[in-house]
Amino acid sequence: MALNKREIELLADKITVNLIKDGNIKLNKDISLLKTIAKEVLEEDAQKEREIDLKTKELLKEYSSEIEKEGADTSKLFIMAKKKVAKQEGFLL
């Protein structure tokens, strides 16, 4: 499941602090710029994952009668299908 807005904020803060603390980045400007960049990247990633979730749900909906007939575990099937859709989209989960 994609990160929510609160999780994105927290993760962007942590990434920013760790990059600076570990000496990987030296800032000439305000730390907020780095945090904004991290947040934007995480938001784009979360949006792509939501799109993959939607494509996966649509795919499973197409086969819903077969899935129901076989009594398949829909949670496990969703995870497996999502991995496949993500791979086809070139997205690393």
Higher-pLDDT residue of 1 and 2 is 2
Q: What is the pLDDT of residues 18-77, one digit of tens each?
A: 999 998 888 887 889 899 999 999 999 999 999 999 999 999 999 999 999 999 999 999
The closest alpha carbon to 12, from 41, 32, 45, 39, belongs to: 39
The reported pTM is 0.83
What is d(CA 12, CA 31) in angstroms, rounded to the nearest whole number? 11
**Band of pLDDT at residue 79, cut at 50, 70 and 90:** very high
Angle formed by the axes of helices 31-62 and 74-89, nearest 10°: 120
| Euclidean distance between CA atoms 9 and 1, whole angstroms | 16
User: Can you tell me the distance from the alpha carbon of 70 to that of 44, in angstroms, rounded to the nearest whole number?
Assistant: 36
Q: What is the pLDDT of residues 4-18, one digit of tens each?
A: 999 999 999 999 999
Domain residue ranges in the chain: 5-89
